Structure 1
Amino acid sequence: MTTTAPPPATADPAEQPTTAAPAAAPRTTLRTLWRRWRWWLLSALALLLVGTMVAGIPNNGSYEPYDPRSGAPEGTRAADQLLQQRGVSSRTAATESELAAALRADDTTVVLGYPDALSSQELTRLAALHRGANSRLVLLLPDQPALKAFAPGISIYYSASDSTTAVEPACALPEAGNAGAVQLGGESYQPGTHDVGCYPHGGTHHSLVSRTTGTQQVIVVGSRRPFTNERLDREGNAALALGLFGAHHQLVWQTLDRGVTAGPTEHRKTPGDLIPSGWYWGALQLVLAALLAVVWRARRLGPVLSERLPAVVRASETTEGRARLYHRANARGHAAETLRRAARRRAAAALGLPHTSSDPDPAALTEAAAARLGRPAADLQQLLYGPAPTDDAALLRLADDLDDMEWQVRQP
């Protein structure tokens, strides 16, 4: 009897793969990557946003020291605001053309806070200008080239005095007399024949020198520090600033162009000064975040776990295995010494002799064992400390004799 084989089974159409199936693998991979890295990406975006916001906050560090726009301790914003409250119109001038326009103006006070930042050609051109009527030029800490250009005949002494000690003016200049004692210090100058020297320092040298020519006046001051924000409220510093800078309704402060460096006694720009301070804070946050990530993802040791031994070996098996090794190596002397050492320690413990991990004293052990067993001490000396056996039969006899001796010693 024959049977007809059934036709081959065909797969259900619903179970057959479709052409869209391969596209699911990349989508799954992207989803996995997003789940794995999403917190890192979000943290980086948050740090970038915070760093950008902090970097965009204006700060006083973008101005040079002694700048009237700076609220830093070494800035002069406090003096400038006091002058503005008394009706003085204040502005800044950074370029040569702006300074030239200020020097030509009438009824104007020009403060050159950085005269040593001007080149010799600029000093020559500015000094050759026809200055305005009823004007005042204040030179703060000028060097000799600036003095030669704007106040020839006044020489610098090159000896800085203490800027923390208040000094009386000792002159007839109204601005100095109204201010009284001032913590001026700084450089000192030798005035000319018709000049007025104030705040003397060492005889004929003064920290402030005034020269008047018609309606034009030049005042040389050997320090900028009394007019800074941190020192304006000391002694008569504020009164001197108001008197020197507030003589006219127009006041022009010299400021530095971006990238221009001051003289040797001033703060010099470095590449780091051009980077906003907020970016340093943002970089610090990134470093801290990286360190926290390292601590979080670093490999750490888990708690100590106890593990059961895979097998338990009986002591007799260990003894038999060691004995086979001794027998294979014909190490009768080593085997005999092992048996005698163990017997000596057990016998000493039974006899109450003091002992440590090393062997007990031979004389004490043999005498005590002889007294307990009633045997000659020489026999026990031979048994416990004798020579090595010469054959296996002698080794077996030695083992039996040691066992008998131990049993007798343990008997009361």
Structure 2
Amino acid sequence: MTAPAPTSTSPTARHLWRRARGLLLAAALISVTALALAALRSGEENGSLDPRSSAPYGSKAVSRLLSEHGVRTKVLTNPAQLRTAVGPDTTLVVPFPDSLPDDRRTSLRAATRKSGRTLLLAPNPRTTAALTHGIRTAAPVHTNPTPPACDLPAAHRAGDADLGGFRYTTDAEDADSCYLRDGKATLLRVPRSSPADPNPTDPNPTGPRPAGDTVLVGSPDPLYNKHLDEHGNASLTLQLLGAHSKLLWYLPEPTSAGPAPSEERSFLDLLPSGWSWAALQLAVAAAFAALWRARRLGPLVTERLPVHVPAAEATEGRARLYRRANARGHAADALRSATRARLAPRIGVPVAQAHRSESLIPALADQAANGHSSDTDGARAESAALRFLLFGLPPRDDAALIALADDLDRLERRFLDHTSPDTPPTDKDVRS
């Protein structure tokens, strides 16, 4: 004997996978893309003139080339590091000297007394006066390929380079004024032994001072990744920054004072900036995916089933849905509505009025009495019992729902099975 086909409507694992695989695949692609973007952004640091940044305006290419020639680059972010890291065998690069507050400029000037070379990128007149002595700053000009026009070996070997920006002049006789624009240097080298850069804090100004120099460059364009391979930019940059075995890149934090070592930092402060952008992109992508997959509410449409579904299976499926949703009220309404629709034609009530208690209940009570006289109180109790059975409150639990179904079934049998109506329904027959 063939076993009956199962009637369970519970979704299987295969069904769930087929429904969710598209959304899972889209979520996986979005996650991988967001993580890749975050990794790339966090690796670049997106910092202008940052030796760790591979962005067009970063300087990672310079750092890579210098490392191939034995020059080690170290990024300094705290003014306290200047006092211990700077020495005669180091080159100190200051990419943004104009952004330094007065206290940091004082610390920087004191540290540059000990460096082998200090390179200041595009300092304005106020910064130039604070960090050097005897150097005048002229208005900036456009950056263009410019010939060296000086005897400085580094400039002579590099040839034309992209220079411009601020221009500098000095009265020092041993200074090198290169890449002139309108007679003023866009690259000025001043040896430390020159009177143009005395040391006012030196307790013995007449004694020997360590050899070194200060270089002012009017435009940072030769150090950018995007311009390094143009003209003589790479040669000039490598010679200026590779004069010593150690290169110190001073990128102080934007606050006026560095954080204390014991200062507590939150988890978000420790995350790279790229990860926050990736989280934002992922949230936007998730919102679009939710809108794409959201249930679209619209008018109900009648659809013919492609196959014939047995009534037992349809009933069981509907019952499972009601049970899963704990919709005992809806189930009771369905049972009562079906009973009223079947009883109304039997007792002569139009189908259009089958669901109106004022039309159905009196007719049922009269049919049950079948013309026999009865006391008024009994008739009222009978009508109340019928009204509660057919139009009452939803059942409290599953047991009450089952009892309601049994009572409705007994009521139908009294009128639909042509049973004798001599005996009116009792309270037991119409209990809720």
TMscore range, shorter length: 0.5 to 0.7
Out of 120, 143, 152, the position equivalent to 2:102 is: 120
Q: Please state how far the C-alpha of 1:275 moved relative to its aligned partner.
A: 6.1
Query: Residues 55 and 276 of structure 1 are in contact (CA less than 8 Å); yes or no, is this contact kept in structure 2?
Result: no
Q: After superposition, give the CA deviation of every residue in 1:56-76 in whole Å (9 maximum; x if it has no partner).
A: 524245342110010111111
Out of 136, 139, 143, the position equivalent to 2:117 is: 136
The equivalent of 1:287 in structure 2 is 287
The equivalent of 1:250 in structure 2 is 246
Q: What does 1:99-178 correspond to in 2, within 5 Å? A: 99-103=82-86, 105-129=87-111, 131-132=113-114, 135-159=116-140, 161-163=141-143, 165-178=144-157
Query: Residues 222 and 233 of structure 2 are in contact (CA less than 8 Å); yes or no, is this contact kept in structure 1?
Result: yes
The equivalent of 2:420 in structure 1 is none
Instruction: Give the whole-Å Cα distance in 2 for the aligned partners of 1:138 and 1:129.
Output: 13
Query: Is the aligned partner of 1:234 residue 2:216?
Result: no
Query: Residues 95 and 120 of structure 2 are in contact (CA less than 8 Å); yes or no, is this contact kept in structure 1?
Result: yes
Q: CA-atom RMSD, angstroms?
A: 3.8
Out of 27, 45, 58, the position equivalent to 1:75 is: 58
Change (3 A) 1:232 1:67: same
Q: What does 1:206-355 correspond to in 2, within 5 Å? A: 206-214=185-193, 215-257=211-253, 276-293=276-293, 297=296, 299=298
Q: After superposition, give the CA deviation of every residue in 1:294-336 in whole Å (9 maximum; x if it has no partner).
A: 5x62548989xxxxxxxxxxxxxxxxxxxxxxxxxxxxxxxxx
Instruction: Give the whole-Å Cα distance in 1 for the aligned partners of 2:287 and 2:255.
Output: 30
Q: What does 1:19-34 correspond to in 2, within 5 Å? A: none
Q: Please state how far the C-alpha of 1:50 moved relative to its aligned partner.
A: 4.6
Change (3 A) 1:170 1:274: same
Q: Please state how far the C-alpha of 1:54 moved relative to its aligned partner.
A: 4.3
Residue identity matched to 2:167: S
Q: Please state how far the C-alpha of 1:291 moved relative to its aligned partner.
A: 3.5
SS at match of 2:93: strand
SS at match of 2:142: coil
Q: After superposition, give the CA deviation of every residue in 1:97-123 in whole Å (9 maximum; x if it has no partner).
A: 1123333x1211010112122211111
Query: Residues 107 and 132 of structure 1 are in contact (CA less than 8 Å); yes or no, is this contact kept in structure 2?
Result: no
SS at match of 1:158: strand
SS at match of 1:281: helix
Instruction: Give the whole-Å Cα distance in 2 for the aligned partners of 1:81 and 1:97.
Output: 26
Change (3 A) 1:142 1:101: farther
Q: Please state how far the C-alpha of 1:183 moved relative to its aligned partner.
A: 1.1
Instruction: Give the whole-Å Cα distance in 1 for the aligned partners of 2:300 and 2:35.
Output: 41
Change (3 A) 1:273 1:191: farther
Gaps of 5+ in 1: 1-27, 262-271, 304-412
Change (3 A) 1:69 1:183: same
Out of 47, 70, 74, the position equivalent to 1:91 is: 74
Query: Residues 163 and 222 of structure 2 are in contact (CA less than 8 Å); yes or no, is this contact kept in structure 1?
Result: yes
Query: Residues 55 and 279 of structure 1 are in contact (CA less than 8 Å); yes or no, is this contact kept in structure 2?
Result: no
Instruction: Give the whole-Å Cα distance in 2 for the aligned partners of 1:53 and 1:101.
Output: 38
Query: Residues 54 and 279 of structure 1 are in contact (CA less than 8 Å); yes or no, is this contact kept in structure 2?
Result: no
Query: Residues 66 and 76 of structure 1 are in contact (CA less than 8 Å); yes or no, is this contact kept in structure 2?
Result: yes
Q: Indicate the structure (1 or 2) with the bigger Cα radius of gyration.
A: 1
Identity %: 31
Q: How many residues matched?
A: 259
Q: After superposition, give the CA deviation of every residue in 1:315-359 in whole Å (9 maximum; x if it has no partner).
A: xxxxxxxxxxxxxxxxxxxxxxxxxxxxxxxxxxxxxxxxxxxxx
SS at match of 2:145: coil
Query: Residues 51 and 279 of structure 1 are in contact (CA less than 8 Å); yes or no, is this contact kept in structure 2?
Result: no
Q: Please state how far the C-alpha of 1:284 moved relative to its aligned partner.
A: 3.4
Change (3 A) 1:86 1:211: same
SS at match of 2:146: coil
Q: After superposition, give the CA deviation of every residue in 1:9-46 in whole Å (9 maximum; x if it has no partner).
A: xxxxxxxxxxxxxxxxxxx99x9xxx8xx959968975
Q: What does 1:184-203 correspond to in 2, within 5 Å? A: 184-194=163-173, 195-203=175-183
Instruction: Give the whole-Å Cα distance in 1 for the aligned partners of 2:118 and 2:145.
Output: 25
Query: Residues 112 and 118 of structure 2 are in contact (CA less than 8 Å); yes or no, is this contact kept in structure 1?
Result: no
SS at match of 2:70: coil
Instruction: Give the whole-Å Cα distance in 2 for the aligned partners of 1:241 and 1:182.
Output: 10
Q: Please state how far the C-alpha of 1:211 moved relative to its aligned partner.
A: 0.2
Instruction: Give the whole-Å Cα distance in 1 for the aligned partners of 2:254 and 2:222.
Output: 25
